[in-house]
Amino acid sequence: MMLPQASSFAPNVDHLFDALLLLCALVVVGVFTLMIVFCVKYRHGTDAVRTPAHQHLGVELTWTLVPFFLFMGIFGWSVHLWIRMRTPPKDAQPVYVVAKQWMWKVQHPGGQREIDQLHVPVGQPIRLVMTSQDVIHSFYVPAFRVKQDVLPGRYTQLWFTATEAGTYHLFCAEFCGTDHSRMRGRVVVMAPSDYARWLHAHQGTGLAAQGADLFRQLGCSGCHDPQSGVHAPDLYDLYGRTVPLADGSQVLADERYLHDAILLPKKQVAAGYAPIMPSFEGRIGEEDVLALVAYLKTRTHAAEDTDEHR
């Protein structure tokens, strides 16, 4: 009944856990032994020597500070690991997750969609970009030692590299209403070749292509195309750039920024533009926003150039 170690984090987390467990066990054994020895030796009626007590500053400082520094070591180790767990590598493959009462909807960049399942290859860092349609959920895969709350109206992310092919449990860990305990799924980890075959078999319209269609249908292109007469920001090369805002601050145009710019355009107005963009809040769902964001990420001059050369 041991928990499988199926991600690159798992062994590290487990080592840290074991180390802390050992340290705690030492403290527990130490204190319990003392308590039991004292309780036996000094129980009422024995003739042990009972001289009056003294306060002892040295003793107090020693037994406080020595364990404290040992535990600080654990803290440092934990922080080191934590920063790694929270910093996805640049080459991580994005996969989009939308949670809703009570299911997990997954979209791959190639347009593959699945419900309550996530297929990933061994050895490839995967970055999940997640949001919720309703309440707070939490994406939890014990075998990977990863968990992240999934919030409505905001993107959160999670990354991992699976190391063992197999099928693992996916749970919703944040109470989300009646069927919370049924909001479960599976993560299927496949050898890269199997994964490539799976992707091929489930190919749909790519996410970016869906986004491109939406971009036209919803009328975004009316304002944002370079030929447009409306004074609106050019969206080429936007992703990853730093955008100056009307209030004088700056913001990194990441996925969260793009998401908010579509749903809550008044929240962060780009410097030099009138706040005339309508909000799409309530008009389109989170999955559509994901498609639009995926599309915007492909809109770089570099990508466009190579397209033309093809």
Partner 1 sequence: MSTVELPTPRSYLEEGFGLRSWLTTHDHKRIAVLYGIGITFFFFLGGLAAALIRWELVTPAGDLLSAETYNKAFTFHGVVMVWFFLIPSIPATLGNFLLPLMIGARDVAFPRLNLFSWYLYMGGGVFTLACLLLGGVDTGWTFYTPFSTMFSNSHVMMAVAGVFIVGFSSIFTGLNFIVTVHTLRAPGMTWMRLPLFVWSMYAVALVMILATPVLAMTLALIGLERLFGVGIFDPALGGDPVLFQHFFWFYSHPAVYIMILPGMGLVSELITHGARRRIFGYRFMVYAIIGIAVVGFLVWGHHMFVAGQSMYASIVFSILSFIIAVPSAIKVFNWTATLYKGDISFDAPMLYALGFVGLFMLGGLTGLFLAATALDVNLTDTYFVVAHFHYIMVGGAVMAYLGGIHYWWPKITGRMYSEAWARFAAILMFFGFNLTFFPQYILGWEGMPRRYHEYLPQFQVWNVLSSAGATILGVAYLMPLLYLAWSLRHGERAGSNPWDATGLEWQTSSPPPPHNFDETPLVTEGPYAYRR
d(CA 258, CA 296): 8
* Residue 163 makes contact with partner 1 by CB under 8 A: no
* Residue 85 makes contact with partner 1 by CB under 8 A: yes
Contacting partner 1 (CB under 8 A), which of 110, 125, 142, 166?
142
Q: Which amino acid belongs to residue 114?
A: E
Number of residues that bind partner 1 (CB under 8 A): 79
Q: Which two tokens stand for residue 221?
A: 């292109």
Q: Using a CB cutoff of 8 Å and minimum separation of 24, what contacts does 230-238 make?
A: 230/276, 231/273, 231/274, 232/273, 232/276, 232/277, 233/270, 233/273, 235/296, 235/299, 236/299, 236/300, 236/301, 236/304, 237/299, 237/300, 237/301, 238/296, 238/299
- The one segment of 12-20, 193-201, 218-226, 294-302 that binds partner 1 by CB under 8 A: 12-20
* Residue 83 makes contact with partner 1 by CB under 8 A: yes
Residues 257-296 that bind partner 1 (CB under 8 A): 264, 281-282
Q: How far is the CB of 103 from Cu ion (least distance, A)?
A: 9
Q: Which is nearer to partner 1, 134 or 305 (CB)?
A: 134
Cβ contact 257:292 at 8 Å: no
Q: How far is the CB of 115 from Cu ion (least distance, A)?
A: 14
d(CA 271, CA 23): 54
* Residue 250 makes contact with partner 1 by CB under 8 A: no
* Residue 175 makes contact with partner 1 by CB under 8 A: yes
28, interface contact from Cu ion, partner 1, none, CB < 5-8 Å by kind: partner 1
* Residue 63 makes contact with partner 1 by CB under 8 A: yes
Q: Using a CB cutoff of 8 Å and minimum separation of 24, what contacts does 235-242 make?
A: 235/296, 235/299, 236/299, 236/300, 236/301, 236/304, 237/299, 237/300, 237/301, 238/296, 238/299, 239/296, 239/297, 239/299, 239/300
Q: Which is nearer to partner 1, 38 or 197 (CB)?
A: 38
Q: Which two tokens stand for residue 8?
A: 């690159």
* Residue 213 makes contact with partner 1 by CB under 8 A: no
* Residue 173 makes contact with partner 1 by CB under 8 A: yes
Distance from the Cα of residue 1 to its chain's centroid: 27
* Residue 140 makes contact with partner 1 by CB under 8 A: yes
Residues 99-118 that bind partner 1 (CB under 8 A): 101
* Residue 29 makes contact with partner 1 by CB under 8 A: no
Q: Which is nearer to Cu ion, 172 or 289 (CB)?
A: 172
* Residue 200 makes contact with partner 1 by CB under 8 A: no
157 CB neighbour count, 10 Å cutoff: 17
Q: Footprint of Cu ion on this chain (CB under 5 A)? A: 137, 172, 176, 183
